[in-house]
Amino acid sequence: MILHLADARNITVRDAALLVADPPYQLSQGGKSLDPRAMQGGWMADYDNKGLPVTCEIGWPEIMDICYRALAAQSHAYVFVNDKNMHPALAAALAAGFRIHNVLVWYKRTATANRWYMKNAEFILFLGKGPAFKINNCSSMACIEMYWPDETAHPTEKPWPLLERYIRNSSEPGAMVFDPFMGAGSTGVAAAKNGRDFVGVEIERQWFDVASTRIAKAAREFSVFGGGGRRARRFAQRPDDHTA
Ligand SMILES: C[S@@+](CC[C@H](N)C(=O)[O-])C[C@H]1O[C@@H](n2cnc3c(N)ncnc32)[C@H](O)[C@@H]1O
């Protein structure tokens, strides 16, 4: 496991087997959020900061270039987007060299108020680099319903069991999973719990420290319980989970 406290633009990663990323995507130009929880990144506007415009230093073309360059010649990428930036994100992904395999949906159960339908879902671009190859469990559903209570104070923490599904489907044990915007480290937690190697980058010291602690704990648990540990067996009971 290698964790960088850095700007992802300054870190060079090569030959990652898989990328799972939840980027700090831009929602609107200019302005600054007044929410004290808000950090740089339009991603806050989607998460209960009252829709205030926020700034974001990094745009989709740069994000997708970072993702594409880090990956091995034949690999998958899962990138979180929202309804408003799905188009620029996909355009940037295709320009970087990715193909689009699918748009996955996380049905969160919880909803954010909105005048044009309540927001209770998030979207994930499922992308491929190089020659196409299938996922490990082809009976996996594109839309997953999952409620998972937050484990940290990070405002956009994603459930690691959701990320775990993507990791199991698009990588093998021991493979290197990369997350250039790891936040509280949920991708790293899912990777560690499934015996994958992990490289993560986070620019904010506060979240880097949270991620480091969580990922180290998950790696310790994996070394104690192993790949067939207690939690893996519990999740294997779900119909679209391929882990034995
Ligand atoms: C949407 S959050 C990721 C949350 C993560 N998926 C989780 O479950 O905790 C995006 C993260 O990217 C970080 N970030 C923003 N700009 C960055 C950059 N240039 N390099 C690395 N990290 C950055 C932010 O501080 C934020 O924690």
Classify strands 119-129 and 71-81 as parallel, antiparallel or unpaired.
antiparallel
The pTM assigned to this predicted structure is: 0.85
User: Quick one: tokens of 240?
Assistant: 């679209």
User: Quick one: tokens of 153?
Assistant: 């104070």
pLDDT exceeds 80 at position 155: yes
Cβ of residue 178 lying under 6 Å from some atom of ligand 1: no
Q: What is the pLDDT of residue 149?
A: 92
Least confident of 17-21, 43-47, 137-141: 43-47
pLDDT exceeds 70 at position 185: yes
User: Quick one: tokens of 33?
Assistant: 């959020």
- In the reported structure, the alpha carbon of residue 167 is separated from the centroid of ligand 1 by a whole-number distance in angstroms of 19
Q: What is the pLDDT of residue 227?
A: 55
pLDDT exceeds 60 at position 5: yes
Q: How far is CA 55 from CA 12, 83, 122, in A?
A: 25, 18, 21
- In the reported structure, the alpha carbon of residue 159 is separated from the centroid of ligand 1 by a whole-number distance in angstroms of 15
pLDDT band for 70, please (50, 70, 90 cuts). Answer: very high
**CA–CA distance, 155 with 159 (Å, rounded to integer):** 12
Average pLDDT for 51-63: 71
Q: What top-level class would CATH report for the domain 2-23+58-235?
A: alpha beta
**Tokens 């990956």, residue located:** 71
**CA–CA distance, 64 with 181 (Å, rounded to integer):** 12
Ligand 1, atom 5, lies closest to the CA of 183
170 Cβ contact partners less than 8 Å away, ≥ 6 residues apart? 18, 75, 76, 78, 135, 136
Least confident of 14-18, 46-50, 115-119: 46-50
